[in-house]
Structure 1
Amino acid sequence: MGNLPRERLTPSYPFDRSGADYSGPVFVLSRKGRGAKLIKSYICLFICFTTRAIHLELVSDLSTDAYLLALKRFISRRGKPCQIFSDNGRNFVGLCNDFAQFLSSCSKDIVDYARSQNIEFSFIPPYSPHFGGLWEAGVKSCKYHLRRVVGGAHLTFEELTTVLTQIEAVLNSRPLAPLSSDPADYSPLSPGHFLIGRPLTAPVCEEDLTQEPIHRLTRYQRVEQLRQHFWTRWAKEYVSELQTRTKWRQNSAELSPDQLVLIKDSSLPPLKWQLGRVVRTINGSDGIARVADIRTSAGVLRRAYTKICPLVDNEHSWRET
């Protein structure tokens, strides 16, 4: 495995160096009520190379104008980047991929516009999709569960935009590392800190709508139910990825006192993460610790290692795992 690109390690403000990719298609209603038609749309994703913050834009079609308008909205809210990376259309030669065809036919217009805005637009090498693993992972986090949560629900353009914005907040609330070395500090560092200087907070707590039948909900409540479903599914998937997926043949990792950890809890509302500091570990009869006491803002909890996900230590360098 090669070293991380220089752009991933250069300190800068959020989205100064970004990756762009498309996801979809998704289908939206042309209007509410009878006679509404389904229109094909796409999700444009921008991801920051240094902070891994995500920005989602819903676009109506695969055209140069639609992409440039999405790029203008992105610049207006996140600032103008100095460099944007993207897939190369030739990566998908022989495959029926709308985005590949879009890039092949419109890349010159996009590059010309970027050059006029003093933005360097770079393509990854042909036939090398693993060079874009950062934005591919962001697309996977959004698309994998969005399809399972939204499913066959038909939303208008405005409603789906609202769902995507809330999904963006969920993705940008994920903890990356301890915020400080203070044993009494339970706050993690998240992409939201780089965007607004503090954690992203959820709106006024809504009632739990995950178990409510769809036919009893208004359209506004349906959008809120989709957000709650997305949080439940994505949080479980993300927390699982934090844990090492190897056979337990040897004890290769051990929790240390005052280490900041994330505790699995599927009952938490959106944008809420239960974090704490390790107080002590408890050894079993074979001398191997599988349970730990964790000090949280609500008191000391005892959890098994299967419910504990250590975050990156301050003593370790920032690198991909």
Structure 2
Amino acid sequence: MLRQQYWILGSRNLIRKIVFSCKTCFMQSRLRSNQLMGDLPVERIQPTGPFTNSGLDYAGPFTIKFSSGRNPKLTKTYVALFLCFSTKAVYLEAVSDLTTDAFLAALRRFVSRRGRCANLYSDNGTNFQGARRCLTEMHKLVMSQQHNSIISTSLAREGINWHFIPPSAPHFGGLWEAGVKSMKFHLRRVVGSSLLTFEELSTVLSQIEAILNSRPLCSISDNDLNPLTPSHYLIGEPLTSIPEPIVEDIPQNRLTHWNLMQKMVQGFWRRWHMGYLTTLQDRKKTWDLVVIKEPNVPATKWVLARVEDVTPGADGIVRDATIRTANGTFVRPITKLALLPAN
């Protein structure tokens, strides 16, 4: 309307300045402050071992049943997700309830299977203040002073540094939030509306974990048949890959880069076969001197004997032997015989 009567120089910029400086208009616009994306944390770009720096988050609750019979009792369970900062490898663990003991048990299983981490990051308790009714218990647990004290003491005893992201800033934990989203994506499509038992849920979570750890870490081309995945840092190959052919006998100059890696892995198995496997069971020869272990006789009175014959089983493994003593010939299991060091 002003422009219809007056010609104002730079009217558009002037009106924008007035509008943006209006407090009422600013309150109604619901604008939030933005900032340039910061640099990645040091923990994200260091070549550390898997799960050395990890993020932790809870997902749920999920409804499960106690048994597979008719009219089973229903209960709630949760999923603890541990995510590696460097490799984005995922570890999923079903947790029976929201208690400190259940969390510590899940943490011990994680450390036992994936190793002790140096730094563990998790959400701050205030991030759950605006949660819906289903997350009320989670908010109470995280905000509990006793819970935090016990967890801090247990982590300090294990040598793990526990870090919280800033309050009311769940986007600081976007790395593990994306892991939770991916986990739920597969869980909804596999389970649907079905009710699982705790054991069945644990099995499904293990399979989902294998799928997530076999996803490519970066974009791949049509010619890239073996993309880099988190599982390469865990077991050397994707968890969902097919068995690789034997390439040990192929000259090294005829191998591709991937086959060369497989040859290195198969070289470890050759060392396992030559060095370790042969030590698992010693094949005892006949005419060896042995001592017969008698349960009711002192060790100094055990009888000396010589092995005359052995009797292999159907699998070719010797489990009993024919021995000759001063009093005659007997058959004894090898668990009753001790080979003398003089042999």
Instruction: Give TM class, smaller chain.
Output: 0.5 to 0.7
Q: Partner letter of residue 233 of structure 2?
A: F
Shift of 1:149: 3.5
Alignment of 1:131 onto 2:164: no
Shift of 1:127: 0.7
SS class of match (2:225): coil
SS class of match (2:162): strand
2:151 paired residue among 106, 110, 113: 110
Alignment of 1:4 onto 2:55: no
Alignment of 1:189 onto 2:228: yes
Q: Indicate the residue corresponding to 2:76 in structure 1.
A: 40
Alignment of 1:170 onto 2:191: no
Shift of 1:44: 0.4
Q: Partner letter of residue 240 of structure 2?
A: T
SS class of match (1:73): helix
Q: Partner letter of residue 90 of structure 1?
A: T
Q: Partner letter of residue 202 of structure 2?
A: T
SS class of match (2:91): strand
Q: Indicate the residue corresponding to 2:103 in structure 1.
A: 67
Shift of 1:32: 1.7
Whether the 8 Å CA contact 1:53–1:172 is kept in 2: the answer is yes
For residues 44 and 203 of structure 1, the distance between their equivalents in structure 2, rounded to whole angstroms, comes to 29
Q: Partner letter of residue 33 of structure 1?
A: G
Deviating beyond 4 angstroms after TM superposition, the runs of 4 or more aligned structure 1 residues are none
For residues 186 and 226 of structure 2, the distance between their equivalents in structure 1, rounded to whole angstroms, comes to 26
Q: Deviations over 1:216-256 (max 9, x none)?
A: xxxxxxxxxxxxxxxxxxxxxxxxxxxxxxxxxxxxxxxxx
For residues 152 and 185 of structure 1, the distance between their equivalents in structure 2, rounded to whole angstroms, comes to 37
Whether the 8 Å CA contact 1:88–1:100 is kept in 2: the answer is no
Q: Partner letter of residue 109 of structure 2?
A: R
TM-score w.r.t. length of structure 1: 0.59
Q: Deviations over 1:262-313 (max 9, x none)?
A: xxxxxxxxxxxxxxxxxxxxxxxxxxxxxxxxxxxxxxxxxxxxxxxxxxxx
For residues 76 and 219 of structure 2, the distance between their equivalents in structure 1, rounded to whole angstroms, comes to 41
Q: Indicate the residue corresponding to 1:154 in structure 2.
A: 195
Q: Percent identity?
A: 55
Shift of 1:111: 1.3
Whether the 8 Å CA contact 2:81–2:93 is kept in 1: the answer is yes
1:144 paired residue among 176, 185, 194: 185
Whether the 8 Å CA contact 2:217–2:229 is kept in 1: the answer is yes
Whether the 8 Å CA contact 1:55–1:168 is kept in 2: the answer is yes
Whether the 8 Å CA contact 2:211–2:240 is kept in 1: the answer is no
- Write the mapping of 1:288-307 to structure 2, written as runs, cut at 5 A: none
Q: Indicate the residue corresponding to 2:128 in structure 1.
A: 92
Q: Indicate the residue corresponding to 1:200 in structure 2.
A: 239
Q: Indicate the residue corresponding to 2:92 in structure 1.
A: 56
> 1:178/1:40 Cα in 2 relative to 1: closer, same or farther (>3 Å)?
closer
- Write the mapping of 1:162-311 to structure 2, written as runs, cut at 5 A: 162-177=203-218, 186-201=225-240
Q: Partner letter of residue 9 of structure 1?
A: I
Alignment of 1:24 onto 2:43: no
Using CA pairs under 8 Å that are at least 6 residues apart, name the structure with larger relative contact order, 1 or 2.
1
Q: Deviations over 1:6-42 (max 9, x none)?
A: 1111111000000000000011111121242111000
- Could you tell me which runs of 5 or more consecutive residues in structure 2 were left unpaired when the two chains were aligned: 1-36, 244-343
Whether the 8 Å CA contact 1:18–1:81 is kept in 2: the answer is yes
The structure that is helix-richer by fraction is 2
Q: Indicate the residue corresponding to 2:32 in structure 1.
A: none
For residues 124 and 184 of structure 1, the distance between their equivalents in structure 2, rounded to whole angstroms, comes to 40
For residues 164 and 74 of structure 1, the distance between their equivalents in structure 2, rounded to whole angstroms, comes to 14
Whether the 8 Å CA contact 2:50–2:86 is kept in 1: the answer is yes
> 1:41/1:203 Cα in 2 relative to 1: closer, same or farther (>3 Å)?
farther
SS class of match (2:163): strand
Whether the 8 Å CA contact 2:80–2:95 is kept in 1: the answer is yes
Whether the 8 Å CA contact 1:178–1:189 is kept in 2: the answer is no
The CA RMSD measured in Å over matched residues stands at 2.1
Shift of 1:54: 0.3
- Could you tell me which runs of 5 or more consecutive residues in structure 1 were left unpaired when the two chains were aligned: 205-321
> How many residues matched?
202
Q: Indicate the residue corresponding to 2:261 in structure 1.
A: none
